[in-house]
Amino acid sequence: MKKLILLLLTAIFIMSCEKVIDVGLNTGEPRLVVEASINWYEDTDGSQQKIRLSTTTDYFASQVPPVTDAAVTITNSTGQVFTFTQSNTPGTYECTNFIPVVNENYTLTILYEGEVYSATDRLLNTPLVNRVEQKDDAGFLGNETEVKFFFNDFANETNHYFLRIDDPYKVIPEYGVLEDRFFQNNEMFGLYYSEDLVPGDTLKFTLNGTTQNYYNYMNVLLTQTGTNSMGPFSTPTSTVRGNVVNQTNFDNFALGYFRMSKTSVEEYIIQ
């Protein structure tokens, strides 16, 4: 009985010591966030493209504020302008007549709240996956499935690649970057392994050729999050700036990146 009374008194003492502490976080002025990845998928004409615009918000905010009142265009080196129009989805701007050309330079221009943002990138080619290999006893304990997606590096040039893996058991895709510094003119591969995969599951591998600047940008971003999966609670330890420049007010820079490339997709069914 004495022990029970002692436990009750201890529990009451602990509960009486609880105190709610509000953590005050500084909230900066909202910045424009640009998600402008122009992907020219194989077996399409690349005319359908989307760009997403939003702003930064409070850390504990439940929603990302979309930008719905911007003017968005992309211009090629000959001066041809492709207009992106706000769609039914707030913050999403669509173009239905875009003309992608490999090795062509394009300039993104965004007019938002009286300021002009711009970025330039070159649409790069991307190799196709030529074969896939599966290993069933991978990992330290031999209980993981390993899948390699092989592709041939473009000859006699320096190449950088952006990789994405969609796993049926993960809400967030896995991302990675790869350079051909030690594999130039040779066969390269994207590697993925998991202990959850079983026969019949489908992995989707997406490959994009990128510029060295985008490779550096993503390499820093993935390193700062501490993982290539870029989980939902991972945040960079410092601001990672992309290639979008505010031409009106340099200090009011945007976040995000304008990237273009042909896109290769390979779906593989686990054996």
Residue found under tokens 């079983």: 198
pLDDT of residue 21: 54
CA 154 to chain centre: 24
Summarize the confidence of residues 105-113 as an average pLDDT: 98
**Do the beta carbons of residue 257 and residue 36 sit within 8 Å?**
yes
- In the chain, domain spans: 32-125+238-263, 129-221
- In the block, residue with structure tokens 């990992």: 139
Mean pLDDT taken over the chain: 87
Q: Which amino acid is at 213?
A: N
Which CATH superfamily groups domain 129-221?
A: Immunoglobulins (2.60.40.10)
Provide mean pLDDT across the span 194-210.
Answer: 95
User: Residue type at 103?
Assistant: N
The pLDDT of residue 240: 83
Q: Where are the alpha helices (DSSP H) in the chain?
A: 2-16, 212-225
pLDDT at residue 231 above 70?
no
- Tell me: the pLDDT tens digits for 183-193? 888 899 999 98
Is the pLDDT at 259 greater than 90? The verdict is yes
Q: 34 with 255: CB under 8 angstroms?
A: yes
pTM: 0.82
Higher-confidence position of 107 and 18 = 107
Q: Can 32-125+238-263 and 129-221 be said to share one CATH topology?
A: yes
Tokens 């004409």: give the residue. 45
User: Taking a C-beta distance cutoff of 8 angstroms, is the pair 39, 261 a contact?
Assistant: yes
3-class DSSP state of 191 = strand
Q: What is the pLDDT of residues 12-52, one digit of tens each?
A: 444 555 555 555 555 668 899 999 999 999 899 999 999 99
CA distance 147 to 161: 18
54 — pLDDT class (breaks 50, 70, 90):
very high
CB atoms inside a 10 Å sphere around CB 199: 10
Give the residue with greater pLDDT, 182 vs 114.
Answer: 114
- pLDDT value of residue 16: 52
Q: What are phi and psi of 6, to 5 degrees?
A: -60, -40
For 98, phi and psi rounded to 5 degrees?
-70, 145
158-184 per-position pLDDT tens digit: 999 999 999 999 999 999 999 988 888
Query: What is the distance between the alpha carbons of residues 207 and 188, in angstroms, rounded to a whole number?
Result: 12
Q: Does domain 32-125+238-263 have CATH number 2.60.40?
A: yes
User: What pLDDT score does 94 carry?
Assistant: 98
Scanning 48-155, the segments in alpha helix (DSSP H) are none
